[in-house]
Amino acid sequence: MPQDWTEKLLHWYRQHKRDLPWRRTSDPYAIWVSEIMLQQTTVEAVIPYYERFLKRFPTVKALAEGPEEDVLKLWSGLGYYSRARNLHKAAGMLTGDFPDTVEALMVLPGIGRYTAGAIASIAFGKRAPIVDGNVIRVLSRLFLISEDPKSSAGQKIFWKKAEEVLPHKHLGDFNQALMELGATVCSPENPACLICPVSEDCRARHEGRPEDYPTPKKKTEYRDVLMSAAVVEERGRILFLKRPATGLLKGMWELPMVEGDVATLVKRWDVSVLKPLPTVRHSVLNRRLKITPFLCSLPKRPWKSDAGEPERRWLTISETAELATSSMNRKILKHLKG
């Protein structure tokens, strides 16, 4: 009797899966942390953050009792900081046993249907489907699904198919196998069909056009943004300001910065420019930032700015390693270290 494709996929996964730290545990808290970190972030980038985070916050209780600023420090450079705030907030909501159903998990901030399904299936063996970019790619090629996965109709089709294909057991392994196949073999371009464990069952491969599935998404239209930053240095220390408690990157620390040229920087922050520093580039969503830092000094008169009086810190370069700041600021600091 021919082997079902799900059995072939599971066998392949157990033989070839990557050795990732969150796959060595059944602790739902650790799995939750990994799933939140992996949103919009590569596995390679997440691993060191994950290990540092669990060392500092080994349990839900430790995370709930920790200051938000400490959470943001450990998240610094990982991006999408609302993930860290939601993780911290959710930890404070948890009492008693960790929720083990999709419905109960989705009550927590920052946990949507995919993350809830991943935790429920991997940590608790529950029958819960998952749908992310990797799973969509595998399913669309296996079953020749041409609907746009971002449309409401496409979402319904992919979630329905993901539930239909779930086997009767080994739910966590199966869901991870789907993701692993999409991440390592069934890639968006030049998929490695020759080593794919389910290539014989793949309808897109039989048609000779796997790269046509899923429906190619429209290319992101980027907006170029010019920014300027002030590196104010006094006696070996650099000035950092705390962002407001609302809005983008709320509560994090950054160099005085503006969208615009050096004249805008001087007008807003009332600094004296000494010299330009190497320009850095950074992408955020659909914006391509070109940031020119300037070595600056503060005027001898009392410092004022049209941004009010944000909380400030004077830090050495080595002290900024523990600062809750964005990867954009770290790129500037990297040049200063050099």
Pairing outcome for strands 223-234 and 287-297: parallel
12: CB partners within 8 A, 6+ apart: 177, 181, 197, 198
State how many domains the chain has.
Answer: 2
Global confidence as pTM: 0.83
CA distance 57 to 64: 9
The predicted pLDDT at position 1 comes to 32
The predicted pLDDT at position 2 comes to 45
Handedness of CA 102, 107, 112, 118 (dihedral sign): negative
Provide the residue type at 115 as one letter: T
Tens-of-pLDDT digits for all 338 residues of the chain? 346 999 999 999 999 999 999 999 999 999 999 999 999 899 999 999 999 999 999 999 999 999 999 999 999 888 889 999 999 999 999 988 999 999 999 999 999 999 999 999 999 999 999 999 999 999 999 999 999 998 999 999 999 999 999 999 999 999 999 999 999 999 999 999 999 999 999 999 999 999 999 987 777 788 999 999 999 998 889 999 988 777 777 788 999 999 999 999 999 999 999 999 999 999 887 889 999 999 999 887 666 666 667 788 999 988 888 888 888 898 898 877 65
Using alpha carbons only, give the angle 326, 25, 198 rounded to the nearest 5 degrees: 95
Q: Which domain holds residue 171?
A: 5-130+155-181
Torsion angle in degrees (nearest 10) through CA of 317, 322, 328, 330: 30
Using alpha carbons only, give the angle 62, 128, 203 rounded to the nearest 5 degrees: 130
Catalytic site residues?
35
- 177 with 227, same domain: the answer is no
- 170 with 39, same domain: the answer is yes
How many angstroms separate the most distant Cα atoms in the chain? Answer: 86
Task: Classify 283 as helix, strand or coil.
Answer: strand
The predicted pLDDT at position 193 comes to 96
With respect to residue 326, please indicate whether it lies within any of the assigned structural domains. Answer: yes
For residue 74, count other CB atoms closer than 10 A to its CB. Answer: 20
Residue 263 backbone dihedrals phi, psi, to 5 degrees = -65, -40
Using alpha carbons only, give the angle 316, 80, 23 rounded to the nearest 5 degrees: 100
- 177 with 270, same domain: the answer is no
Q: What is the CATH number of the domain that holds 71?
A: 1.10.340.30
- 260 with 120, same domain: the answer is no
Asked whether 83 and 37 are in contact (CB, 8 A), the reply is yes
The predicted pLDDT at position 190 comes to 94
**Model confidence pLDDT, tens digit, residues 62-116:** 999 999 999 999 998 888 899 999 999 999 999 889 999 999 999 999 999 999 9
Query: Does the N-terminal peptide bond of residue 214 adopt cis geometry, omega within 30 degrees of 0?
Result: yes
- 176 with 259, same domain: the answer is no
- 68 with 161, same domain: the answer is yes
